[in-house]
Structure 1
Amino acid sequence: GNRAEQKEDLRQLVGLTAGSDDKALLADITLRRASMYLATADYEQAVKQAQQATALVATHDNKTLEARAYRIWGRAQWQQGRANAAKPLLQRALRLATAAKDVLEQAQNYYDLGQIAFLNNQFSEAQQLLHQAIDLFKVEDDKRNMIRCLDNLGSIAILSESNFEAALTYFQDSFRMCQSIHWPYGETYVLYHLGNCYFEIGDFAQSQETLGKTLTLTRLLGDRAAEANALDTLGLAYQFDGQLEQARAKFEEALAIHDSLNDRRGKAYVQTHLGILLSNLEEIEQAGIYLYDALSARSDSGAKETTIDTEAALAWLDMARGDSDFAQERAQEIAAWLQENGTAGVELPFQVFWQCYTVLKLTGAAEEAQSLLQLAYTQLMARTQKIQDEDLRAHYLESVVYHRQIIEAFEATTR
């Protein structure tokens, strides 16, 4: 929607209700303000407003308002990467919504709990929760939230199953639904995920075009968080396409926005991508600053898989510095972890495989290098077999440099 008009409408509503002693009304207005802060990625203010609302309804038996307050509070938390802090808030919100027999509020909480499961790489649980949400949104004929759920199921299809064709179908269907109900905000998020899917497949030109459209929409809507995410993925699409200066410019724009939003999670993604790029450009010191800052932020989550991309980038950086012993030690630790735990939750697993394989090979750990290469090749072929469309399969194998390098290296060892 038009954020400027919405803000003005809300300002007038606040003025009209000033001085009221109706706590339920004041809580409702406060939650509207919290929702606006949430939509514009001012998460700290969203939390403060939601907390104020819980205090306002604490002495009233209004379970629906209380459920909304806890849900918005929880949503603002997971949007900042604080999934563990968000979960009990959302579980409380769901209990309140169920007691109030508020179908729409229940559905919203299933959606948010699905997001937390998604962020924690619990993909089966996320799918179950999202399908529960869809069933309830259908009852309310809430197409916008149905689109959100379908969009997320597309992302899960990629991350949990490498099912790019299913993901494209989810995203394309969602985009058509957005257009049918004239919802530009939804179009923004669906286009972003569609552009990311094209990137994953290796269709970088299509990814750049789609993400360019996404950027235009995010700026029209004033959605800074979505703008930063689109810039980051657009930077990756340029980087993997060999357009390094364009990639750097996009990463730096994204980093500045995440800084302004105090979004450590989003910032860590960009810093990792930028650190790898600068390592390749031999800007070693700045690369190190970005990567160690990213590692610190990601380590705070307590989930080892979220640090793997950054740790592999640091091994790559150590090699660029000439610190081969440090590089080998890092690569050995990552290789052992991947052998034991797999790649769930790793952002760009084949980039990680290639970086660690190269480090191990160059530092003389030939046996470990070959073992890791075997694992990388096996996983790559397993993913490729799921792609039925020949053009998609060709893009996936030939256009992504790390995929091509893994295949060439493996085939060279079997000749």
Structure 2
Amino acid sequence: MKTVIILLVSVLIAPKVWAQTPEIERLLKTAEQASGKEKIMALADVCKNFYSVDPHKGIAYGEQALQLAGLLKIPSAKSKVYNCIGVNYWTMSDFPTARLYYDSAFKNATLFKDTFEIGIFYNRMGLIYESLGHFDSSLLVFEKELDIYRQLKNPERIGNALENIGTIHLNRGEFKSAITYLIEAKTTYETTGNKKKLPYIYLKLGQIYSELQDFSIAEEWFQKGIEQSLALNDLPKAGIGLNAMGILYKNQGKYEEAIRKFKTALETTKNLNNRNLTGIIYGNMGNVYLSLENYTEALNYHQKSLDLAVQTKIPLAIARQQVNLGQDYYSLKEYPQARSFYEKALPAFIASKTQSELLQTYKALIDVNNALNDYEKSV
């Protein structure tokens, strides 16, 4: 099965940082000193900034902002607040509730002709669709996001939207289109001096060349992404890059070097409580042990990865680890268990239309059905 370099959730228009207390304290002080609409907007910013730290607190501040908007009879301010509350639910993988708030934001923004917040709505919905593996829908709304910000001539948001679209093409295996959009996003970030966004672009470009098996160019992009992430103290991106380098070595048969990179990635990100990234690294370590025919360790790491994926409630993340476990059991000639895991994974790949993974899963099912002499199912 495909080794996962990165869980490519696209760019969220919010300053996602990991030691955010100083910024939140500044915003709280602003909210305390402000009044009227300014206070509502400040509380919304507090809500937004909490999503990567404590989403429950973020929701509480968002609800406070909504109440104040109602009390002061400033309904136009609610569009931003709804979008900010929704992102906290998205962080917790509560996609239905997130969508309810986003829909409220869209209706309110449409009523008051708030084009900027309509663009934010499209960004948020694109993230939900991507998390669910619905890439066609995700691409559609990200393109709407791009159109809006081009009309508004907002270069920062244009760069975000370009990266989002490039990310979806990467997820779908459409590498030529992915390179086009990601390079345009890179140019936009460089023009606006937005250095913080560049490391993720480098890692995505590295992934494309890794998929194309141009390993030397891939390694150059990955190394550039790691170095700049560390310079910015962006440990999640550094961990993603180290994980990517591990896969690069694994694909070249350099298994010991791959394991070392994965362990360094885990060490770098150990204090982040990032289930998505940790689960991906575990899964990739399992893939190395499977290649080494160390089935005990392969099962151990793939099960750890599946457990974390289930906690994220992200269908594709779950399906990928189910297939990995299926491969482990197939290698052990425990065919009924292998088939069970493949069958569990299949619906997520069908829904997402990720053709390469769907075809690989069908092939795995054919192989295991043949091993069980169940030729009718193979046909």
Would you say same fold, with TM above 0.5? yes
Alignment partners' CA distance in 1, 2:101 and 2:16: 30
Q: Evaluate the alpha carbon distance shift between residue 66 and residue 188 of structure 1 in structure 2; reply closer, same or farther with a 3 A threshold.
A: farther
Cα contact 2:328–2:338 (8 A) shared by 1: no
**What amino acid does structure 2 have at the position aligned with 1:207?**
A
Q: Evaluate the alpha carbon distance shift between residue 43 and residue 258 of structure 1 in structure 2; reply closer, same or farther with a 3 A threshold.
A: farther
Aligned 1:332-371 pairs, distance under 5 A? 334=342, 338=346, 342=350, 344=352, 349=357, 352-353=360-361, 356=364, 360=368, 364-365=371-372
| Residues 159-183 of structure 1: CA deviation (Å, up to 9, x unaligned) | 34x3211111111111111111111
Cα contact 1:360–1:368 (8 A) shared by 2: no
Q: Evaluate the alpha carbon distance shift between residue 69 and residue 337 of structure 1 in structure 2; reply closer, same or farther with a 3 A threshold.
A: closer
Residue 264 of structure 1 corresponds to 275
Identity of aligned residues (%): 17
**What amino acid does structure 2 have at the position aligned with 1:139?**
Q
Higher relative contact order (CA 8 A, sep 6+): 2
Residue 218 of structure 2 corresponds to 207
Cα contact 1:278–1:284 (8 A) shared by 2: yes
Residue 11 of structure 2 corresponds to none
Q: Which of the residues 129, 144, 149 maps onto 2:161? A: 149
Alignment partners' CA distance in 2, 1:12 and 1:367: 65
Q: Evaluate the alpha carbon distance shift between residue 277 and residue 215 of structure 1 in structure 2; reply closer, same or farther with a 3 A threshold.
A: same
Q: Evaluate the alpha carbon distance shift between residue 85 and residue 333 of structure 1 in structure 2; reply closer, same or farther with a 3 A threshold.
A: same
Alignment partners' CA distance in 2, 1:70 and 1:2: 18
Cα contact 1:305–1:346 (8 A) shared by 2: no
2:66 is equivalent to residue 54 of structure 1: yes
**What amino acid does structure 2 have at the position aligned with 1:349?**
E
2:119 is equivalent to residue 107 of structure 1: yes
Q: Evaluate the alpha carbon distance shift between residue 225 and residue 24 of structure 1 in structure 2; reply closer, same or farther with a 3 A threshold.
A: farther
| Residues 207-241 of structure 1: CA deviation (Å, up to 9, x unaligned) | 22212222223333343433333333333223212
2:325 is equivalent to residue 317 of structure 1: no
Q: Give secondary structure in 1 for the equivalent of 2:271.
A: helix
Aligned 1:225-264 pairs, distance under 5 A? 225-255=236-266, 260-264=271-275
Larger mean Cα displacement after TM superposition, 296-305 or 273-282: 296-305
Alignment partners' CA distance in 2, 1:274 and 1:216: 23
Cα contact 2:322–2:344 (8 A) shared by 1: no
Q: Give secondary structure in 1 for the equivalent of 2:71.
A: coil
2:31 is equivalent to residue 31 of structure 1: no
Cα contact 1:357–1:369 (8 A) shared by 2: no
Normalised to the residue count of structure 1, the TM-score between the two structures is 0.72
Q: Give secondary structure in 1 for the equivalent of 2:113.
A: coil
Alignment partners' CA distance in 2, 1:229 and 1:244: 18
Aligned length: 364
| Gap regions ≥5 residues in structure 1 | 373-415
How far does residue 37 in structure 1 lie from its aligned partner after superposition? 4.2
How far does residue 107 in structure 1 lie from its aligned partner after superposition? 0.5
Alignment partners' CA distance in 1, 2:314 and 2:233: 32
Cα contact 1:63–1:99 (8 A) shared by 2: no
- CA root-mean-square deviation: 4.0
Q: Evaluate the alpha carbon distance shift between residue 313 and residue 63 of structure 1 in structure 2; reply closer, same or farther with a 3 A threshold.
A: same
Cα contact 1:315–1:359 (8 A) shared by 2: no
Alignment partners' CA distance in 1, 2:67 and 2:297: 46
Cα contact 2:48–2:85 (8 A) shared by 1: no
| Gap regions ≥5 residues in structure 2 | 1-14
Q: Which of the residues 165, 169, 173 maps onto 2:184? A: 173
How far does residue 367 in structure 1 lie from its aligned partner after superposition? 7.3
Q: Which of the residues 335, 339, 348 maps onto 1:331? A: 339
Larger mean Cα displacement after TM superposition, 296-305 or 221-230: 296-305
Cα contact 1:272–1:310 (8 A) shared by 2: yes
Q: Evaluate the alpha carbon distance shift between residue 370 and residue 131 of structure 1 in structure 2; reply closer, same or farther with a 3 A threshold.
A: same
Q: Evaluate the alpha carbon distance shift between residue 168 and residue 174 of structure 1 in structure 2; reply closer, same or farther with a 3 A threshold.
A: same
Alignment partners' CA distance in 2, 1:305 and 1:112: 19
Larger mean Cα displacement after TM superposition, 150-159 or 178-187: 150-159
